[in-house]
Amino acid sequence: MSLRAKCGASITTPIYHDLNMNKKFYITTPIYYVNDQPHIGHAYTTVAADVLARFHRQKGDDVFFLTGTDEHGAKVAESAKLAGQKPKEFVDEVVELYRIAWKNLNITHDEFIRTTDPAHIEAVGKFMQKLMDNGRLYEDTYEGLYCVGCEKFMTEKELVDGYCPDHRKKPKKIKEKNYFFKLAKYLDQVKDLIQTDQINIQPAEMKKEVLGLFKQGLGDFSVSRQKVKWGIPLPFDPAHNIYVWVEALQNYISAIGYGDNRDEFERWWPADCHLMAKDILKFHAIYWPALLLAVGEKPPKGLFIHGFFSINGQKMSKSLGNVINPNDLVEQYGSDATRYLLLSQFPFGQDGDIKESLFAEKYNSDLANGLGNLASRTAKLLEKNEIEIKSAKQPISDKVIDDINDQIERYKFDEALKSIMRLVAEANKYLDQEAPWKLTEADSERRSEVLNNVASWITTMARLFYPFMPIASHSLVEQFTGPKVKKEEGLFPRK
Ligand SMILES: [Zn+2]
């Protein structure tokens, strides 16, 4: 489903100085594992992707923004069984929760892919067949440990006191025939692509971490499972299902026509940015490029890895009961403010702590008292004095505008938002100093000039923060474009 039509019209190109129109920009979130309901962690990644997608669309780029759900594997089958449902019934229900959460957060994905979609299943079959035909797979016996919680094979070295450190469960001992992928053949090539930034991994610490993984020694990995029944069968040996990780990664190409529509595929591939948290780095930075090279496709151009966050200083977990539901935040603050509050707390790309108490505090200081107050008092004065909007000189310097755009492009969302809030503060200060409410009819020209300056300030800022707070942006641009300005209900009512 395309949501592209929704975000257009009145937010026309803001003042971009690098007008490299019609570049394509393909951005993805990880597909979320439906064993879990959407929480603030998923929302964080998805909002960030949406900010980038909106930013690039606003710039005139040709954007494809993909998100979706990962629905196969033993863990999902177990959860469905516990819920007394068939796997497909179970996943259909959870997927709906993701759709609702993204709608509430005003996410403008161009496609929501599900790994149970027939088109994905077909594309994956073709990809696996090609790996086989190219001689990149071989059959062998796997004997070892498997953590169902991680859906990963594990080694004794990775365990803590015999337990999976993430799930605190004993991994299962399994012995079965698997197909293995000849990873070794591609390791040097993938490493070289990362070192030379042809696969551009950001931030720099994460690139370093990936390069470190090569030193640990990476072995061939299994691409199929015989005992996991909820999955996609290997086309050449249907007694096996495709290992869920290997299958899930392929969503990034099945969504854009891999194996079915070469023109569409080449229009978007390679992805410009796979966005993710660091726990899935190895799969994306090493296994995924190697698999692509093995079927003769290009690796992704870029990966951006954001940090983990804690909630009020604690690790987020169901057992601690501190999991934040993004829908609750939207209900309390609205979608724009939730997006703002999520991305302004700490630098994207670093670990950080989400402080719930800061939500209300920042909401009031930045949005209600800052931006909301600026807009409402300016509109009130314009209306009261019956001042029409004339084209005023753009009060924000080109340098400041370029810097903010540059910060967004470089994933420095918190800095961009800080810069924008500085502009809000400056405009409020200017209004206080000029005090147009004190000017009499004799100074009506000056009064009109001051208020027109502020109106122009507001519309310019609104275009700058459009990727973060699209609803407020639209409404401010509409309100202050004039010619007549009316005072409206507060954008961000004080909490
Ligand atoms: Zn585990």
Q: What is the pLDDT of residue 449?
A: 95
**b/e for 173-187, b at 16 or more Cβ within 10 A?**
eeeeebbbbbbeebe
Structure tokens of 178? 């698997």
Q: What is the pLDDT of residue 6?
A: 33
Token match 């401010």: residue? Answer: 476
pLDDT at 178 over 80: yes
Please write the tens of the pLDDT for every residue from 319-342.
778 889 999 999 999 999 999 999
CA of 172 to the centre of ligand 1 (A): 10
Structure tokens of 426? 């400056």
CA of 151 to the centre of ligand 1 (A): 7
Token match 């940015």: residue? Answer: 273
Helix (H) or strand (E) holding 69: strand 62-70
Q: Do residues 95 and 69 lie in contact, with contact meaning Cβ atoms separated by under 8 Å?
A: yes
1 burial (CB, 10 Å; 0-12 / 13-18 / 19+) is: exposed
Q: What is the pLDDT of residue 5?
A: 32
Report the distance separating Cα 359 and Cα 334, nearest Å.
12
Structure tokens of 186? 């591609």
Mean pLDDT of the chain: 92
Nearest to 260 by CA among 58, 54, 122: 122
CA of 135 to the centre of ligand 1 (A): 31
pLDDT at 63 over 60: yes
CA of 36 to the centre of ligand 1 (A): 14
Structure tokens of 218? 């990476």
Q: Do residues 316 and 352 lie in contact, with contact meaning Cβ atoms separated by under 8 Å?
A: no
pLDDT at 20 over 60: no
Q: What is the pLDDT of residue 434?
A: 96
Q: What Rg, from alpha-carbon coordinates, does the chain have?
A: 25
Query: Quick count: other Cβ atoms within 10 Å of Cβ 318?
Result: 10
Expressed in angstroms, the distance from the first to the final Cα of the chain is 35
**b/e for 325-355, b at 16 or more Cβ within 10 A?**
ebbebbeebbbbbbbbbbbbbbbbbeebebe
Report the distance separating Cα 123 and Cα 381, nearest Å.
60
CA of 317 to the centre of ligand 1 (A): 14
3 burial (CB, 10 Å; 0-12 / 13-18 / 19+) is: middle
CA of 171 to the centre of ligand 1 (A): 7
Q: What is the pLDDT of residue 243?
A: 95
Q: What is the pLDDT of residue 12?
A: 44
Please write the tens of the pLDDT for every residue from 258-312.
999 999 999 999 999 999 999 999 999 999 999 999 999 999 999 999 999 898 8
CA of 155 to the centre of ligand 1 (A): 11
Three-state SS at 441: helix
In total, the chain counts a number of residues equal to: 495
The backbone torsions φ and ψ at residue 33, rounded to the nearest 5 degrees and listed phi first, read -75, 125
Q: What is the pLDDT of residue 22?
A: 65
Structure tokens of 177? 């025939």
Amino acid of residue 236: F
Q: What is the pLDDT of residue 4?
A: 34
- Percent of the chain whose pLDDT exceeds 70: 96
Token match 């696969």: residue? Answer: 199
Q: Work out whether strand 352-354 and strand 273-277 pair parallel, antiparallel, or are unpaired.
A: unpaired
- DSSP secondary structure letters along 131-198: HHHTT-EEEEEEEEEEETTTTEEE-GGG-BTTB-TTT-SPPEEEEEEEEEE-THHHHHHHHHHHHTTS
pLDDT at 437 over 90: yes
Q: Work out whether strand 352-354 and strand 309-311 pair parallel, antiparallel, or are unpaired.
A: parallel
Helix (H) or strand (E) holding 26: strand 24-28
Query: Quick count: other Cβ atoms within 10 Å of Cβ 13?
Result: 11
Q: What is the pLDDT of residue 322?
A: 86
Q: What is the pLDDT of residue 3?
A: 33
pLDDT at 28 over 90: yes
Rounding to the nearest 10 degrees, give the CA dihedral for residues 107, 109, 114, 119.
160
* Residues assigned a catalytic role: 39, 42, 147, 150, 164, 167, 315, 318
Q: Work out whether strand 32-33 and strand 24-28 pair parallel, antiparallel, or are unpaired.
A: unpaired
Q: Do residues 265 and 253 lie in contact, with contact meaning Cβ atoms separated by under 8 Å?
A: yes
Q: What is the pLDDT of residue 356?
A: 86
Task: Provide the residues around ligand 1 (an ion) whose CB is within 5 A.
Answer: 147, 149-150, 164, 166-167
CA of 319 to the centre of ligand 1 (A): 16
pLDDT at 15 over 50: no
Q: Kindly state the average pLDDT of the residues 77-101.
A: 96
- Percent of the chain whose pLDDT exceeds 90: 80
For the chain, helix, strand, coil in percent to 5 are 50, 15, 35
CA of 322 to the centre of ligand 1 (A): 21
Q: Do residues 233 and 241 lie in contact, with contact meaning Cβ atoms separated by under 8 Å?
A: yes
458 burial (CB, 10 Å; 0-12 / 13-18 / 19+) is: buried
Please write the tens of the pLDDT for every residue from 210-260.
999 999 889 899 999 988 889 999 999 999 999 999 999 999 999 999 999
CA of 56 to the centre of ligand 1 (A): 37
